[in-house]
Amino acid sequence: MKINHLATEKRNKATLDIDECSSLEVVQKINKEDQMVPSAIQKVLPEIAAVVDQVIAAFRKGGRLIYTGAGTSGRLGILDASECPPTYGTPAEMVIGIIAGGDRAIHTAVEGAEDDKEAGRNDLKKLDLTKDDVVVAIAASGRTPYAIGALEYANEIGAVSAALVCSPDSEMSEVAQYTIAAVVGPEVVTGSTRMKAGTAQKLVLNMISTASMIGIGKVYSNLMVDVQPSNKKLVQRARNIVVEATGCSPEEAERALSDHNGYAKGAILQLLTGLSPSDTRALLETHNGMLKQALKANGRDNN
């Protein structure tokens, strides 16, 4: 296997002497390199938006967003997926992250797992992949066999396939229907793609999941109105959200939240319309949980 030609494996001329630097100089060099990441992402915003549109369409059909990758890339997909239920009230199976080598690989490197192309296919088969799903395969190099196997299987099933890579003209881009290539250049430490490449992947995944959730009505203005109040902090956040959205008192917010089992979106709609709890729930259901649409249908929109 030849990897010397990959952008992620090139030596960074700006850090050739990093092993002779003071701690301050080291972190200054790292910081300077990190500043390149946002500009690399800015160049691929249209590609990111195209994938977001596909994810929104999939969600509306009952489909799923499935991240898949090996090593750091796989872990970042799992991280993004795991944040969706508490933040947006989604079922755990709506956004899924899988990693080469299985759950053990989340904590410990599983040698050779990324080279198993068939495992990339099989892990999607275990999820009963359908044509309504979107598969985003993540790999800094753009050549990971595990990720390529996943993309090939997604194409065979008729699902949407997308590659998130940090190398131009990659093997994965030849297989995927959509490619997001955030080319951040050589790493501070040659080949350590958990650094700039990992940062770029994290930022792009933030965009994909957040923009997709906004697209299906999980956000009202810029408030996470489907937040799950599963701990004290989130209970407080839900109350604050209701107060911000309606201008009510904290006590009124708590009473309305109580009517809806802590569900901020229902409490907001009830307070802004004056409907009963049951009528509020019916109105939300009619509009598929889209708060702004429900308010407009009722002749109100406080936003």
Q: Which residues are designated catalytic? A: 83, 114
Q: How far apart are CA 101 and CA 106, in angstroms?
A: 8
CB 271 within 8 A of CB 256: yes
Q: How far apart are CA 217 and CA 209, in angstroms?
A: 13
Q: How far apart are CA 229 and CA 237, in angstroms?
A: 8
Token code pair at residue 90:
């989604």
List, in order, residues 6 or more apart from 215 with CB less than 8 Å away.
Answer: 52, 53, 55, 56, 59
For 258, half-sphere exposure in the C-beta direction (CA atoms, 13 angstrom radius) is: 6
Give residue 244's identity as a one-letter amino acid code. E
Give residue 134's identity as a one-letter amino acid code. V
How far CA 104 is from CA of 111, 117, 241, in Å, comes to: 11, 18, 38
Q: Quick one: CA dihedral 276, 281, 287, 292, positive or negative?
A: positive
**Closest by CA position to 196, among listed 207, 205, 183:** 183
CB 94 within 8 A of CB 65: yes
Q: How far apart are CA 189 and CA 75, in angstroms?
A: 20
Token code pair at residue 246:
């309606």
Element (H, E) at 195: none
